[in-house]
Amino acid sequence: MSVGRVAAPAHFDAAVLGGGPAGIAAAVTLRRAGLRVTLLERAPLHTPRVGESLSPEVRPLLEQLGAWDAVRAFVEGAPEFTLVRSAWGAAELLERPSVLHPLGAGWHVDRVAVDSALTAWCRDQGVEVRTGDGRWFARSPDAARSIEVGARGGASLRVGSVVDATGRGATGTSAVRSVPWLAHDRQVALLGLFEGSGSTPAGPGLVLEAHPQGFWYTAPLSEDRLVAVFVTDADLLPSLGQGPAVRFRRALGDASHTRARLAGRHLAGKVQGFRSESGRLPVAAGPGWRAVGDAAMSTDPLGGMGVTRGLTSGLAVLATPSAAAAEVFSDYLDQRTRVYWQEPRWPRSAFWARRRPCAPRTDETLDWRSVAVELPPDAVLRWRGPAEPAAEAWLSPAALAALEALGEAAAQTCVRAVNEAAPMSARRVVVALQWLLAAGIMEERA
Ligand SMILES: Cc1cc2nc3c(=O)[nH]c(=O)nc-3n(C[C@H](O)[C@H](O)[C@H](O)COP(=O)(O)OP(=O)(O)OC[C@H]3O[C@@H](n4cnc5c(N)ncnc54)[C@H](O)[C@@H]3O)c2cc1C
């Protein structure tokens, strides 16, 4: 049955692709339900990871999973996440209750240590774990109702079902599902790990600093280690030079608080790039597969809730996915708008314009729930383009591309086209169309 380098048992009931928090929670939950499970993580365990600031909800979730004792030393021994100092909306650094989490206290952990401990524990629970074989992909199911799972290196095996826990993009199951991953933006992150005692003490908590082309955050991992992350949009990176290290350094030029916190510390290892977009699968399960964690829905790192959501989603792997996913994502986008709206300093910057929807004439926030719907369904709309960055505050690049491809069509056809490309509530789409008309990106045919 199995070919390649995969060892016995030859058949697994389920393969979980991706060994982050969601994949581990899903694998152990399935194992406890009596299934033979393999967890296939592409990277060696020591590979750098993002997501070091854990909210306090992580503990009860790990307790529910039964994994708290396995990771407790790495979590409780880590610096406490008690406050956020942020230059967000103004140049000065202000101590705030928390932009990240209203409850405040959590931990800034070394994710490599925590995820490694979780992986070892997962193995102890009877899950067959493989790491470091590169990316695994599910291939089309056969008549015997099994799915082939293969790695780039040549290994393959047949399993009853696949859980995609590969994070943003849900790349593990793209060949076995009919729905595409919907990226709502093009956000990326550059991460550098800094070591040394520094010119001044790093101080506690997370420092968040808005930047003309994104934002920075730094967090302490121990007395002499800090993680620094620059978040921006992928298409804005070339303006910062060539290569991650140059871009990272150049972006620091406009981030005085971050620079001060890193002063006297040295970069340990390479600057690493990560996907950071908000996005989702419009349908998170299908015949023989389902997605959990970021693979089902990913949000802005600003929220600091990715690990919590990943664990929750992995623990619920046996439950039917929520039918309200589009609504949840829509609510999340509204929350995100409220956070980005607090930073008005760079209205012309593409990064900020894409995240701060505003009425083009009045320069006021639009609340799509209260804006009057005035567009008749049979009004004929024409795409004029080019889409200015602010258009993406309302509609994803995929939805805007669908409107552009449509060229000219009735408003109701436009709504349908947007919903096929990136489902959203009809009201939200109509308000977005009204805004595109007001901005001159679309026009109404007389
Ligand atoms: C810049 C940044 C900062 C963040 N900061 C925080 C934070 O402070 N706190 C927080 O809670 N969350 C944070 N997050 C979010 C958090 O990292 C994720 O939401 C969380 O880890 C989700 O877990 P997951 O298991 O779904 O995905 P991931 O943790 O991304 O795990 C996916 C795993 O799948 C593996 N993989 C990918 N493709 C394949 C494949 N084809 N085959 C096999 N394996 C594969 C990857 O190597 C990875 O280990 C941050 C995210 C970013 C981008």
Residue ranges in the chain modelled with pLDDT below 70: 1-10, 97-104, 141-144, 358-365
Q: Is 171 in the pocket of ligand 1 (CB under 6 A)?
A: yes
Report which ligand 1 atom has the smallest distance to the Cα of 292.
26
Q: Is 41 in the pocket of ligand 1 (CB under 6 A)?
A: yes
CATH topology of domain 187-275: D-Amino Acid Oxidase; Chain A, domain 2 (3.30.9)
Of the residues 41, 84, 186, which should be mutated to test ligand 1's pocket, given the most ligand atoms within 8 Å of the CB? 41
How many angstroms is it from 142 CA to the middle of ligand 1? 30
Q: Is 229 in the pocket of ligand 1 (CB under 6 A)?
A: yes
Angle between helices 306-315 and 21-32 in degrees, nearest 10: 20
The protein residue whose alpha carbon is closest to atom 27 in ligand 1 is 167
What does R_g of the chain's alpha carbons equal in angstroms?
A: 23
Provide the pLDDT for residue 237: 97
The protein residue whose alpha carbon is closest to atom 37 in ligand 1 is 166
The alpha carbon of 240 is separated from its chain's Cα centroid by a whole number of angstroms, namely: 23
Provide the pLDDT for residue 312: 97
Closest to 440 in 3D by CA, of 361, 372, 380, 379: 361
Closest to 403 in 3D by CA, of 418, 388, 386: 418
Of the residues 166, 275, 297, which should be mutated to test ligand 1's pocket, given the most ligand atoms within 8 Å of the CB? 166
Query: What does each C-alpha distance from 96 to 101, 355, 425 come to in angstroms?
Result: 10, 22, 34
Report which ligand 1 atom has the smallest distance to the Cα of 18.
34
Question: Do the Cβ atoms of 326 and 36 come closer than 8 Å?
Answer: no
Q: Is 438 in the pocket of ligand 1 (CB under 6 A)?
A: no
d(CA 308, CA 114): 14
Neighbour count for residue 273 (Cβ, 10 Å): 15
Quick one: three-class SS letters along the chain?
Answer: CCECCCCCCCEEEEEEECCCHHHHHHHHHHHHCCCCEEEEECCCCCCCCCCCEECCCHHHHHHHHCCHHHHHHHHHCCCEECCEEEECCCCCCEEECCCCCCCCCEEECCHHHHHHHHHHHHHHCCCEEEECCCCEEECCCCCCCCEEEEECCCCEEEEEEEEECCCCCCHHHCCCCCCCCEECCCEEEEEEEEECCCCCCCCCCEEEEEECCEEEEEEEEECCEEEEEEEEEHHHHHHHCCCHHHHHHHHHCCCHHHHHHHCCCEEEEEEEEEECCCEECCCCEECCEEECHHHCEECCHHHCCHHHHHHHHHHCCCCCCCCCHHHHHHHHHHHHHHHHHCCCCCCCCHHHHCCCCECCCCCCECCCCCCCCCCCCCCEEEECCCCCHHHHHCCCHHHHHHHHHHCEEEHHHHHHHHHHHCCCCHHHHHHHHHHHHHCCCEEECC
Report the Cα–Cα distance between both ends of the chain, in Å, rounded.
65
Indicate the CATH number for domain 11-76+110-183+278-321. Answer: 3.50.50.60
How many angstroms is it from 21 CA to the middle of ligand 1? 8
Q: Is 169 in the pocket of ligand 1 (CB under 6 A)?
A: no
Question: Do the Cβ atoms of 247 and 237 come closer than 8 Å?
Answer: yes
Tell which phi-psi region holds residue 154, choosing left (phi > 0), alpha (psi between -120 and 50) or beta. Answer: left
Provide the pLDDT for residue 364: 66
Question: Do the Cβ atoms of 130 and 39 come closer than 8 Å?
Answer: yes
Which sequence spans correspond to the domains of the chain?
Answer: 11-76+110-183+278-321, 187-275, 351-444
The two structure tokens encoding residue 324: 């309200």
In DSSP terms, 39 is beta-bridged to 16, 129
Provide the pLDDT for residue 424: 86
Neighbour count for residue 313 (Cβ, 10 Å): 26
How many angstroms is it from 20 CA to the middle of ligand 1? 6
Q: Is 192 in the pocket of ligand 1 (CB under 6 A)?
A: no
94-96, strands of its sheet edge to edge = 94-96, 84-87, 206-211, 214-222, 225-233, 187-195, 266-275
